[in-house]
Amino acid sequence: MKFLISILLLATISFANEMLAPKDYPTGEVGKLVKLGEDIVNNTDTHPLTKDFVGNKLQCKSCHLKGPDGKVGTGKGISSWVGTAAQFPAWSKREKTVQSLQDRSNNCFMRSMNGKRLIVDSKASMAIAAYITWLSEGTPIKMNEKGPWSTHNTKLYPKGVKHFKAIQKKATHENYLAGKDVYAKKCASCHGQNGEGIAVFPPLWGKDANGNWLSYNTGAGMSKLDKAASWVRSNMPLGQGGSLSDQEVADVVLFMNAQERAPFDLQKALLPKEEMGYYNSAVLEEKHTVESNFKSLGLDLQQIKTGK
């Protein structure tokens, strides 16, 4: 297993130099759209074109991190957008259909942003696709039968997810306590004692004083223990991705994803059919809770949290 992790690490490091946005924006209307897309992915929860489609206090940049050029999605870890547009259309196991880049982004609205899918081909949806496509300029197009992830992520993400699943299936109450400790030492200074977020540091779970959900819901990739671990290992603590051991990552994610977050019910998350038009998915019923996400790895949430 150590061998596999060294390969993952090496692969991450060797991508480091490639991860930059192109130097110049396109000209004309396309250039305007790319800039609009960039504004939206930076300010998703407050931007006039998207705020009504967001149900938490996150932005796309909260998970699709900035790289050294300051552009959202050029961070070298898992969830980079460099090359992503060249991977679509791509098969999605979750929706059991071949998805477009716009479909994929809209699903992050409904899950990671705890909101609603944008109308495909609305200005905001098109602008986000234009921005991500700009970041992918120069990447050769490759048909993608396996998963809707970027060129870089298809190499790293599924392996990391599998690796963490094996570790997390064995989790006990002791791991929860160890995770709580890692959280207090390595995460709370930015994300808050209760996951509520501090200033520019985004919230990880829970509600605000008015009862509004703060972070991703239980249908998001990040709410799945193994997926979140793969992401956290690569990206957190901010600027020090890869510094925690696999066990520390597994434990801190066990703690983080055991806390309260919005339940996901696909039918409630979709806009009314007249408004939304066609929804490109063969899966039309899907529900998740914190408990069910734990159960999917054979874990009992109550037992993990209380030891009883």
Residues that bind ligand HEC (CB under 6 A): 41, 44, 58, 60-66, 79, 81, 84, 101, 104-105, 108-109, 112-113, 128, 132, 148-150, 153, 186-187, 189-191, 201-204, 215-216, 220-222, 227, 231-232, 236-238, 252, 256
Place of tokens 């490639």: 18
* Complex with ligand HEC: residue 81 or 213, whichever CB lies closer: 81
**Least distance from C-beta 251 to ligand HEC, angstroms?**
10
* C-alpha angle 303-307-308 in degrees, rounded to nearest 5: 70
Q: HSE of 180 in the Cβ direction (CA atoms, 13 Å)?
A: 12
* CB 117 within 8 Å of CB 270: yes
* Complex with ligand HEC: residue 28 or 219, whichever CB lies closer: 219
**Least distance from C-beta 170 to ligand HEC, angstroms?**
20
**Least distance from C-beta 11 to ligand HEC, angstroms?**
15
* Complex with ligand HEC: residue 127 or 299, whichever CB lies closer: 127
**Least distance from C-beta 308 to ligand HEC, angstroms?**
26
* Complex with ligand HEC: residue 22 or 237, whichever CB lies closer: 237
* Complex with ligand HEC: residue 3 or 224, whichever CB lies closer: 224
Q: Which residues pair with 99 in a beta bridge?
A: 90
Tokens describing residue 80: 């980079």
**Least distance from C-beta 6 to ligand HEC, angstroms?**
21
* Complex with ligand HEC: residue 115 or 299, whichever CB lies closer: 115
Nearest residue to the partner ligand HEC, using Cβ: 221
Q: What share of the chain is helix, strand, coil (3-state, %, to 5)?
A: 45, 5, 50
**Least distance from C-beta 16 to ligand HEC, angstroms?**
17
**CA distance to 143, 214, 247, per residue, from 11 (Å):** 21, 33, 21
* CB 132 within 8 Å of CB 34: no
Tokens describing residue 64: 């699709």
* Complex with ligand HEC: residue 167 or 256, whichever CB lies closer: 256
At 214, which amino acid appears?
A: L
CB under 8 Å to 69, separation ≥6 — which residues? 20, 21
Tokens describing residue 144: 């993608």
**Least distance from C-beta 287 to ligand HEC, angstroms?**
17
**Least distance from C-beta 153 to ligand HEC, angstroms?**
5
Could you give the residue ranges of the DSSP H alpha helices within the chain? 2-15, 28-42, 101-110, 123-135, 151-168, 173-186, 188-191, 225-235, 246-256, 266-269, 273-276, 290-295, 301-306
* Complex with ligand HEC: residue 12 or 215, whichever CB lies closer: 215
